[in-house]
Amino acid sequence: MVERMIETAGVELCAESFGDPRDPPVLLVMGIGASMLWWEEGFCRMLAEGGRLVIRYDHRDTGRSVAYEPGRPGYTGDDLVSDAVGVLDAHGLPAAHVVGVSAGGGITQLLALDFPERVLSLVLISTSPALPGDRELPPSSREYARFVSSATVDWSDTGSVTEYLVDYSRVLSGGRRPFDEARIRALVRRDVERARDVAAQQNHDHLPEEDRRRASLSSVAAPTLVIHGTADPAFPVEHGEALAQEIPGARLLRLPDAGHGVERPDWETIVRAILDHTATA
């Protein structure tokens, strides 16, 4: 595993790879406000041991990548899409299988629309259609909405930030399985300590609205696998079902009782699904 700083579009991003460079590449795109650490090392190693070159990276304003003044992001959502291309360029890869989770799944959908030649296949986890449409999808759970609207955090206090992120992770877990607080707390602490400026991750909530016209999701040509937990409180499973219906040929894998994200009890199932999908795409 090799962590390195790369430059794309005049900014520094931190990326890390696992596995043999001769193997088929898999680019992992994490959700908004989350560093690459949330693609946990054990998960990445499982994919690499399955014969894949695995690349994860820190978005702007997360981890060791470039950090902007809190509340003043100097970039747009389109820049986050282009950053994924920059990571591929830095690794000398013309294209890769791309796996996105949560808002990272939205970035991944837009990547497939804007740069189809760079995407060998898509895996969309715990996410929702990235483009507006006529569909009606259920809202987030009451518990999730209540937490988002009422939780407070002092971004200048690492202890406060840690407690907030642990509590947020608990809500995202969906409540149908035991919550491994000790493991999540250790991950959060490492993430907070590693960040250039942990307060900057708020910037992802302040990205300017863009009015760029794109083709519909029905024009996505990359073979697509949708993976969604049935207890996802942020994007109920109907969001994943909608994606699988809108993207031609997409397959849907439901994870019983799983919440939002890539949870350790599901690693084996998710890894096997990704390996099978990327072997045939």
End-to-end CA distance of the chain: 25
Look up 260 and say whether it is catalytic.
Answer: yes
Instruction: Give the C-alpha separation, 60 to 190, whole Å.
Output: 18
Q: 126, 260, 266, 277: which one is catalytic?
A: 260
3-state secondary structure of 269: helix
Nearest to 102 by CA among 8, 219, 5, 234: 234
Look up 102 and say whether it is catalytic.
Answer: yes
Count of Cβ atoms closer than 10 Å to residue 71 Cβ? 11
Q: Per-residue b/e over 110-142, b at no fewer than 16 CB within 10 Å? A: bbbbbbeebbbbbbbbbbbbbeeeeeeeeebbe
Q: 61, 83, 191, 232: which one is catalytic?
A: 232
Q: What is the phi/psi pair of residue 261, to 5°?
A: 115, -165
Look up 206 and say whether it is catalytic.
Answer: no
CA distances from 211 to 77, 79, 111, 129, 208 (A): 11, 14, 16, 16, 10
The answer to whether the beta carbons of residues 223 and 280 sit under 8 Å apart is: yes
Catalytic residues: 102, 232, 260
